[in-house]
Structure 1
Amino acid sequence: MSGRDGGKKKPLKQPKKQAKEMDDEDMAFKQKQKDEQKQMEAMKNKAAGKGPFAGTGIKKSGKK
């Protein structure tokens, strides 16, 4: 054990990731995901504004 080897070692540098080329199918898939995400957000906002669906329970007629 020499005195200079102590401490944390620096990690080796990783090669940079190459930019992934996207073809038409990938672009269409990404666009479809974005559209679905927007629709989900819109439905969440719409549903948050309303109260409970069936808060009154079973409705009974006035006749006995």
Structure 2
Amino acid sequence: MSKQGGKAKPLKAPKVDKKEYDESDLAYLQKKKEEEKALKDLKAKAQKGAIGGSGLKKSGKK
């Protein structure tokens, strides 16, 4: 009797060779990183509250 139960562990994945990028690829990746950072900053600001105001004001009338 073996003590092995359940699924067998998968084999280790082969090492991935590093990709070589040319200047246009590096520029594209840099631009993409900057856009993601800007988007993240905007989301963080949006979480804090309304942009440029205090939101809707309720009137005292019924």
Which TM-score tier does this pair reach, normalised by the shorter chain? 0.5 to 0.7
Matched, 1:55 2:56: yes
Structure 2: state its 5+ residue gaps: 1-7
Q: Aligned partner of 2:31: which letter? A: K
Instruction: Kindly provide the CA deviation profile for residues 6-62 of structure 1, in whole angstroms up to 9, marking residues without a partner as x.
Output: xx8xx8xx87543221000000011001100110010001111114975348x8xxx
Aligned-pair RMSD on alpha carbons? 3.4
SS state at 1:33 partner: helix
Structure 1: state its 5+ residue gaps: 1-7, 60-64
Q: Which has the higher contact order (CA 8 A, sep 6+)?
A: 2
Residue of structure 1 equivalent to 2:41: 42
Work out which of the two has the higher radius of gyration on C-alpha atoms and give 1 or 2.
Answer: 1
How far apart, CA to CA, are the structure 2 residues paired with 1:41 and 1:51? 16
